[in-house]
């Protein structure tokens, strides 16, 4: 049975009212329910502008965006936000409450949840994301990585069907990145669609299979990350650095008989071993 479309973008054009320049130019995109997708591209490629269309913060100038069949032009942000959880890049742009618990419960209060139930739900999510011990601490006292997890918790708490993360790995150490990957996989196992906006190629190469690459307001490539991220032309157009493994494979291909794109370390090592044995 074909899966439902979580997000459908058709001929989307967008520009800001005070500007002449189109920020998004004829974007066409389909994301199925239960997928993990990375949207990549250099700064100013239009990634954040695109995801702001997913919960109706921005409305298309031309074309349309549908979320589980709901046209974003016909629904308010509050209505769409229940289905699409958007986690912004900088936690400092949203943290305001006096305790971690209150910060997490904010959305539930907005959606009119019963306070007791809201608290139970918030506690559950905070436990899952390893923040339970800070429940009565001020969110401003948390470390960078913890703040970032708190912002994810404060969105996951109301159980949206689609989770959109804007640059989750910026300024994070390796441990935190792995933690984000675990969180992404876990919520994906619950059947949720996850969209990660990032220009961290290594993160995508390591953890995400489906990738969409944007440059100058357009989608320039879409497909399997192994293929897309090792495509020299696409990466140049999007001004992204190819993952180290891809680069290594490219160099090997130039100098010796060595075919294929090996973004995954185990495959890469296996191939190198085979090649060494053959040689």
Residues binding another protein (CB under 8 A): 18, 52, 55, 57, 76-78, 81-82, 85-86, 88, 90, 92-97, 106-107, 110-111, 140, 154-155, 158
Task: Tell me whether residue 77 or residue 267 sits nearer to another protein (CB atom).
Answer: 77
Task: Output 18 or 190, the one with its CB closest to another protein.
Answer: 18
222: helix, strand or coil: strand
Identify which of residues 141 and 241 has a Cβ nearer to another protein in the complex: 141
Q: Is 159 exposed, middle or buried (0-12, 13-18, 19+ CB in 10 A)?
A: middle
N residues, the chain: 279
Identify which of residues 99 and 239 has a Cβ nearer to another protein in the complex. Answer: 99
Comparing CB distances to another protein, the nearer of 57 and 247 is 57
Q: Kindly state the helix (H) or strand (E) to which residue 4 belongs, with its residue range.
A: none
Closer residue to another protein in complex, CB, 94/275: 94
CB-based contacts of 182, cutoff 8 Å, min separation 6: none
What is the residue whose two structure tokens read 């996951």? 156
Task: Answer for the pair 197, 3: CB distance below 8 angstroms, yes or no.
Answer: no
* Least Å from the CB of residue 166 to another protein: 10
CB of 97 to another protein, least distance (A): 8
Cβ 18 to another protein shortest distance, Å: 7
Distance CA 44, CA 25 (A): 13
Least CB distance to another protein at residue 109 (A): 8
Token pair belonging to 13? 């054009």
- Taking the CA atoms of 40, 153, 108 and 158 in sequence, report the sign of the dihedral they define: positive
Beta-bridge mates of residue 193: 162
Number of Cβ atoms within 10 Å of the Cβ of 257:
9
Q: Sign of dihedral through CA atoms 38, 41, 42, 48?
A: negative
What gap in Å lies between CA 112 and CA 118, rounded to an integer? 9
For the CB of residue 218, give the shortest distance to another protein in the complex, in Å. Answer: 23
Q: Which is nearer to another protein, 38 or 81 (CB)?
A: 81
Task: Give whole-number Cα distances, 92 to 80, 87, 170, in Å.
Answer: 23, 12, 14
């Amino acid at each position: 049975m074909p899966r439902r479309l979580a997000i459908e973008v058709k001929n989307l054009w967008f520009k800001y009212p005070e500007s002449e320049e189109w920020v998004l130019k004829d974007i066409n995109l389909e994301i199925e329910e239960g997928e993990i997708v990375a949207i990549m591209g250099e700064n100013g490629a239009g990634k954040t502008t695109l995801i702001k269309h997913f919960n109706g913060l921005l409305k298309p100038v031309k074309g349309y965006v549908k979320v589980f069949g709901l046209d974003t032009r016909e629904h308010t942000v509050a209505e769409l936000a229940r289905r699409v959880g958007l986690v912004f890049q900088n936690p400092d742009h949203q943290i305001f409450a006096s305790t971690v618990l209150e910060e997490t419960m904010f959305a539930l209060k907005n959606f009119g949840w019963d306070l007791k139930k809201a608290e139970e739900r918030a506690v559950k999510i905070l436990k899952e994301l390893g923040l339970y011990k800070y429940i009565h601490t001020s969110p401003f006292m948390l470390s960078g990585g913890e703040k970032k997890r708190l912002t994810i918790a404060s969105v996951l708490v109301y159980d949206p069907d689609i989770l959109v993360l804007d640059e989750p790995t910026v300024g994070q150490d390796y441990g935190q990145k792995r933690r984000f990957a675990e969180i992404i996989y876990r919520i994906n196992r619950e059947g949720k669609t996850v969209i990660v906006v990032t220009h961290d190629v290594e993160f995508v190469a390591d953890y995400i299979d489906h990738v969409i690459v944007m440059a100058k307001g357009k989608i320039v490539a879409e497909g399997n990350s192994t293929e897309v991220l090792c495509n020299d032309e696409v990466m140049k157009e999007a001004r992204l650095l190819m993952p180290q493994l891809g680069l290594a494979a490219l160099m090997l291909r130039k100098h010796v008989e060595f075919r294929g794109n090996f973004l995954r370390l185990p495959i890469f090592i296996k191939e190198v071993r085979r090649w060494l044995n053959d040689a």
